[in-house]
Amino acid sequence: MSSDVHGTPRRATLLWATLIVATLLTWGMGATGATGKGAIAILAAISFWKGAVIILDFMALRHAPLLWRALTLGWMILVWAVIAIAYIKGLPQ
C-alpha cells in the first residue's frame, strides 16, 4: 500500500489516539451530565469530526473519487441531521 493513498502508519496512529481521546471526552461529558446548548454543540462537533476522520482516513477515501467521498460524507451528514432534528423537536417549548 502506498502512503500517498493510505497515509503513513504514524498518521494513522496519531489519528487513532486522537479518536480515543475524543471518545473519552464525550463519554466523560455524558457521565458528568453535561447539558445545555453549548455541551450539545461540542458533542455534535466532536462526533461529526470523528465520523469524517473514520470515513476519510480509516476507510481510505481521502483520495478516492469525489462521488465516493460525497456519498459517504453525505450519508453521515444526513444521519446527523436527522438526529439533530429529532433532538430539537424533543426540546421543551
- For residue 56, the 8-state DSSP code is I
pLDDT at 37: 86
pLDDT at 52: 97
pTM, two decimals, is: 0.84
Q: In which band, very low, low, confident or very high, does the pLDDT at 92 lie, cut at 50, 70 and 90?
A: confident
Q: In which band, very low, low, confident or very high, does the pLDDT at 2 lie, cut at 50, 70 and 90?
A: low
Q: Which sequence spans correspond to the domains of the chain?
A: 3-90
Cα torsion angle, 36, 39, 42, 47, sign = negative
pLDDT at 22: 97
Say which residues have a Cβ less than 8 Å from residue 26's Cβ, sequence separation at least 6. 43, 46, 47
Residue range 17-67, pLDDT digits in tens: 999 999 999 999 999 998 888 999 999 999 999 999 999 999 999 999 999
pLDDT at 51: 96
pLDDT at 31: 95
Q: What would the mean pLDDT of 72-92 be, rounded to a whole number? A: 93
